[in-house]
Amino acid sequence: MRPQSAMKLHVLLAVSFTWAFHEVPPPPRYQHRDPATSEIHMCDQCPPGTAVRQHCTTDTPTMCSPCPDRHYSEQWHWGDSCQYCTSVCKERQLVRRECNSTHDRLCECIQGYYLVVEFCVRHTPCPPGTGAAMLGTPVSDTLCEKCPKGYFSSAESATERCTPHRTCSELGLQTLHPGTAAQDTVCENSTPRCSHQHLQCHTDVTLCEEAIFQFLISQRLSAAQLDRLMENLPGQKVDRKSVERVRKACSPQQQILQLLRLWREQNKDQDKLSSIIQGVNHCERKVSRCATLDNLTLSDLVAVTASLPGVKVREEDVREVVRSCQSQQYVLQLLHLWKARNGEQDIAKGLAHSLRKLRGQDVSRQLLKSIRRIGRIFSSASIHKVHEKMFLHMIQDSKCFKSKSYND
């Protein structure tokens, strides 16, 4: 026998051997009593996606039919009907897989929630001093762990992990206060709030307040109109000395923001103003979370400032931020510096412009994602429209506003 023929015979024998010992298992069976003859037959069950149309007899096998639309069967069975698909997902759930002939519709909790019995519950945030060791999933809660030595977490979050303490010596600085599980290391010549004197009026004004009060700036109020506004705001009034001091130190646009900030600080404990102040605080927390980034390089930060429209933040100011601020504050502080130099620029449009210019450049993807998220916060019309209505209702004299839309 030729070697080639012998090889073919060997392969055929091997395949035959495999088939003999790896037969396809027969379908499961069930007992069925023939109503006409009272005989009991062992019938084959119907496979997934079908149901029994006719039971087997002595001469014929089981007849199966496909499940109709919006029905399914997941297992082999001997029923004469399929199960009906789940019609809708429950509250805070989305469809992960649509129903088909062999599977029901599969629902799962939306992002940030997980299933407890039959309800979707928000993931548990880890308190300061702990971080998310394992992120929550649609079926499991966040797993928190205490920050180990050399790491910290200062925010309550279901997604933030523990972050390494900054090393002051690497920055050429002395350690002022060692880091704890809930706070980063404080270096000499750096301030936790990162407020610089050269910012002047802008120091005490947050990005969220600027967005919320932007409609007032757009009105270009005169001195008399600004007086009318301050007189009609509810609660404790800003005293005349403070008003005059702000007018001497600030530009007309900055005056509005600074006076509103003073009014807010004087009235933050009043219940009737809580909805306004809480709205500002909620926005600030969202922006701070999105702007908190680590491992950013100086080139990343310079690229961000160069991509923003209007008057540019100088590179020496960027270096000052790196020297005197915590790494998690870099992005937010640079945006403060840019807004201080571009008071009339819309921050949402500025961030959109920045994002377009940064795409394709060699910058951190995490940084691009952060800028996109911050831009979405400020691009939402609801961020200041609700507050706009509140202020317009408070101010009795609508002559303060030149725009017809606000008078309406």
Cβ neighbours of residue 67 closer than 8 Å, sequence gap 6 or more:
49, 50, 51, 73, 82, 101
Q: Is position 15 within any domain?
A: no
Q: What is the pLDDT of residues 169-228, one digit of tens each?
A: 766 677 878 888 888 887 765 433 343 333 333 333 467 766 666 656 655 666 776 777
> Over the Cα atoms of the chain, what is R_g?
34
pTM of the entire structure? 0.40
Q: What is the pLDDT of residues 101-160, one digit of tens each?
A: 999 999 999 988 999 988 899 999 999 899 999 999 999 999 999 999 999 888 788 888
**Angle between helices 252-266 and 240-249 in degrees, nearest 10:** 150
Dist. CA 313–CA 326, nearest whole Å: 19
The residues with which 145 forms a beta bridge, in sequence order, are 131
DSSP 312-378: PPPHHHHHHHHHHS-GGGHHHHHHHHHHHH-TTS-HHHHHHHHHHHHTTSS--HHHHHHHHHHHHHH
Task: Provide the CATH number for the domain around residue 40.
Answer: 2.10.50.10
Q: Is position 1 within any domain?
A: no
Considering the domain architecture, whether residues 318 and 244 belong to the same structural domain is answered as: yes
Grade residue 9 by pLDDT with cuts at 50, 70 and 90: very low
Considering the domain architecture, whether residues 279 and 318 belong to the same structural domain is answered as: yes
Q: Is position 14 within any domain?
A: no
Dist. CA 333–CA 100, nearest whole Å: 52
Considering the domain architecture, whether residues 151 and 69 belong to the same structural domain is answered as: no
Determine the length of the chain.
Answer: 408
Considering the domain architecture, whether residues 85 and 209 belong to the same structural domain is answered as: no
Task: Tell me how far CA of residue 390 lies from CA of 266, 284, 385, 394, 405, in angstroms.
Answer: 18, 19, 9, 6, 15
Which residue in 327, 335, 365 sits closest to 152, CA to CA? 327
Domain extent at residue 60: 26-107
Dist. CA 174–CA 154, nearest whole Å: 22
Q: Is position 341 within any domain?
A: yes
Dist. CA 267–CA 80, nearest whole Å: 71
What tokens were used for 110? 């939306």
Q: What is the pLDDT of residues 292-303, one digit of tens each?
A: 777 778 888 888
Look at the block and give the residue holding tokens 């096998």: 61
Cβ neighbours of residue 37 closer than 8 Å, sequence gap 6 or more:
none
Per-residue model confidence (pLDDT) at position 387: 58
Dist. CA 33–CA 155, nearest whole Å: 69
